[in-house]
Structures are given as structure tokens and as C-alpha cells.
Structure 1
Amino acid sequence: MFWYGHDPSGWGWFTMSVGMLLFWALLIVFAVVLFRAVPRSSDSGTKTGTRPGPTPEQILAERFARGEIDEEEYRSRLAVLRPGCTGYGNP
């Protein structure tokens, strides 16, 4: 008695399905954002998948090798980068 009309119609099933999909999508997005926000420690001390960039000395040597700067400028800039070094051999 009085049970008529309590079953969801076709649109009711559709809205429940869409609502459930949105609920799980929001839950997954929240979990991913939380996972990325939590800092993780690494044994190597650097981020995984990244390589350290070239040192200033390497960049200077590349510029000298390409001919962008002459030997005098190379040695003077190298002396600035390495205090106590005259640019000839190792300090």
C-alpha cells in the first residue's frame, strides 16, 4: 500500500549514475593532489628524473670552444669564478 511512485524513473537512474561518477572523480583528484603535495624524501638528495645543470665553468668552457669569447676573456672570467686561480692549470 502506498508504494507506488517510489522507484526512480529513467532520469533518476541517470542522475544517480552521473552523481556517482562525479563523486569518484573528485575523490581520485583529491587523492592525487594530496599525494603530490606531501613532500617525499629521497636518498640521493635530488629530484628523481632530473639532471643537474652544467656548472658555470662548463658553460664558460663551451663559450670559449664555440669562439664566442677569446682566451683573455676566458681566463679573466675563470679567475672570477675560481678565486685564487690564475686560469693556468689547477689552483
Structure 2
Amino acid sequence: MMYGWNDGGWGIGAWILMALVMVVFWGGIVALVIFLVRRSPADHGEHPLVQTHHEAERILNERFARGEIEDEEFTARRAALRRKE
């Protein structure tokens, strides 16, 4: 014997619950994928422009240490780099 809609089932509540659980499940999967894609291994909390600034200042320090630029030029260029921060 077959049961009808009201005999032995949850009725429309089960369909609503299943739909909500499915939306939450797939929403969680999509959020996890987006989180993993946006997170790059190169990011260590610093913005790329800050990393570029540190690199530029390191190169300037090396050039000064090798004697390629004079004290006045070093000071002016370092001040210019720090103004751009």
C-alpha cells in the first residue's frame, strides 16, 4: 500500500529543510574555494607596494655601500622614497 502526502512523512517541512541545508552546504563550499583562491602563498601580511618600497631602499643602501652614489644623492633619494609611503 502506498502512503499519501500526510501519512508517515514530514510533509513540506522536509522539503524546506533539505533546500536550506543544500544552500548552506554549497554556499560553504563556494566560500571555501574563494578563500583558498584569494589567499596566495606569497602574502605574508604585507602589501606588494610595501615590499617594493623595502626592495628599493635595500638597493639604494647597497649602491651607497659600494660607493656608487654620494652621501647627498643617497640622502635625497632615501627622502624621496620615504615621502612616497
Please report the TM-score for the alignment, with normalisation by the length of structure 1.
0.41
Greater relative contact order (CA < 8 Å, ≥ 6 in sequence): 2
Q: Which one has a bigger Cα radius of gyration?
A: 1
Please report the TM-score for the alignment, with normalisation by the length of structure 2.
0.43
